[in-house]
Amino acid sequence: MKYDFLDPDALARLGALPLESRHAMSGNVAGRHRSPHRGSSVEFAEYRKYVQGDDTRRLDWKAYARSDRYYIKEFEADTNLRAYFVLDASGSMGFSAADEARIQFARKLVANMAYLIVDQGDAAGLSVCKEKIHLEIPPTRRAAHLNHIFEVLDQTEPSGETGLIESLHTIAEKVGQRALVIILSDLFCNTPALGDALQHLRYRKHDIAVFHLLDQQEINFDFERPHRFVDMEDKTSIVAEPTLVAEEYRQAMRDFMRDVQVKCHDVHADYHLITTNQNFEAIIHDFLTSRLSKKGK
C-alpha cells in the first residue's frame, strides 16, 4: 500500500541525520544514546573508589600512582531510544484554511520521523488521543511494525473534544522507562493544565518534544467579511464581524502562543511552533539538527 504521507525522496535526504536524545535514555538493547546506568562504552563518566569484588581490569593505575589509592573508571552505557508519538486527533485538528488540514500535516511528521527512528535501530510507538487515549501502539524496533503505525495514521480522522491532557498524564504513568515523548497538537486546551501534564512527564524523566501545529490563518485572522465561526470540537458557533474583533483576537492568540511556549520551556521541552504552510522536510531537518547541538544539555 502506498501512503501519501510518506516521502521516499525526503527520507533519503534525511537518512544521514540521526535522531538523538538530549537526556540519558533507558533501553533494553545496546544503542547510540546515553544511558543513566554505568557501563563500559567509550565515553568516560567518572571515577569511584574501588570496592572488593570490582573488576580489577577497570582500575586506573595512573590514579593509583598519584594518590596511592585504588579507583575504578566508570563509563556511560549506551542504549537504544524509545520514542512515543502522541497525536492529538480531536476535532480541531481537522481545521484547514488555504493549506492542508492540521491532521494531514501531523501524519507526515509522525510517519516520516517514525521511519527514520526505526531505520536507525531505535523503537517508535504511537498514541492517538481524542477524548482519551483512543489507540496505543507500543514502541518496537521491528521494521514490520511501521506498517501498523502507517495503517493507524491512514485511518485516523479528527473528531470530538481533546483529551490531550489526560492522555499525557496516562502516558507519564504507563511508560516506565525514560523515553522521548513527541507531542503533535494545536494545544487548544487549558494551558495551566497542559503545564501540569508536561511537568508530570518531566518528573518521570522523559525527554519532551512539542510540535505546536497552527494554521497561518489562525494567527493572521485576516477575514474581510462577517463569518460564522464553528468550534470544531463541541460544534458551538458564533457570527462575528472580523474587523471589529480582529485586534482583540490577535492579542489573545499572541498571549496563548506565549503562554504555551513558557509552559514548554519551564520543563525544558523541545518546543517548535509550526504552521501548516511550512515544508515538512525542512521542519524534520531542523528538529534533528537542533537536537544534535543540544545533546546532553
Find which of 16-20, 175-179, 245-249 is predicted with most confidence, using mean pLDDT.
245-249
| Same domain assignment for residues 122 and 188 | yes
Alpha helices in the chain (DSSP H): 8-14, 61-67, 102-119, 145-155, 164-174, 191-203, 216-220, 242-266, 280-294
d(C-alpha 217, C-alpha 260), whole Å: 19
**Is residue 116 included in any domain, yes or no?**
yes
| Same domain assignment for residues 56 and 173 | no
d(C-alpha 89, C-alpha 128), whole Å: 6
| Same domain assignment for residues 249 and 121 | yes
Using pLDDT thresholds of 50, 70 and 90, give the confidence band for residue 74. Answer: low
**Is residue 28 included in any domain, yes or no?**
no
**Is residue 210 included in any domain, yes or no?**
yes
**Is residue 212 included in any domain, yes or no?**
yes
d(C-alpha 149, C-alpha 139), whole Å: 10
pLDDT above 70 for 41: no
| Same domain assignment for residues 126 and 238 | yes
Q: What are 276-296's pLDDT values in tens digits?
A: 999 999 999 999 999 886 665
| Same domain assignment for residues 145 and 278 | yes
| Same domain assignment for residues 121 and 59 | no
d(C-alpha 186, C-alpha 159), whole Å: 14
Over range 63-86, report the average pLDDT.
Answer: 72
| Same domain assignment for residues 151 and 192 | yes
**Is residue 161 included in any domain, yes or no?**
yes
Give this prediction's pTM.
0.80
| Same domain assignment for residues 54 and 193 | no
pLDDT above 90 for 79: no
Asked which of 60, 79, 98 is the last residue of a domain, the reply is 79
Percent of all residues in the chain with a pLDDT value above 90, rounded to a whole number: 55
| Same domain assignment for residues 110 and 162 | yes
**How many structural domains are present in the chain?**
2
pLDDT at 36: 47
Percent of all residues in the chain with a pLDDT value above 70, rounded to a whole number: 83
At residue 245's C-alpha, the angle toward residues 192 and 158, to 5°, is: 55
Q: Is 89 helix (H, G, I), strand (E, B) or coil?
A: coil
Over range 237-253, report the average pLDDT.
Answer: 91
**Is residue 146 included in any domain, yes or no?**
yes
| Same domain assignment for residues 119 and 38 | no
| Same domain assignment for residues 209 and 290 | yes
Using pLDDT thresholds of 50, 70 and 90, give the confidence band for residue 134. Answer: confident
| Same domain assignment for residues 136 and 205 | yes
**Is residue 109 included in any domain, yes or no?**
yes
Q: Which three cell numbers stand for residue 187?
A: 494545544
Domain that holds residue 115: 8-21+81-294
**Is residue 246 included in any domain, yes or no?**
yes
pLDDT above 90 for 28: no
Closest CA to 183 of 119, 80, 267, 279: 267
Q: Is 187 helix (H, G, I), strand (E, B) or coil?
A: coil
pLDDT above 50 for 259: yes
- CATH, residue 234: 3.40.50.410
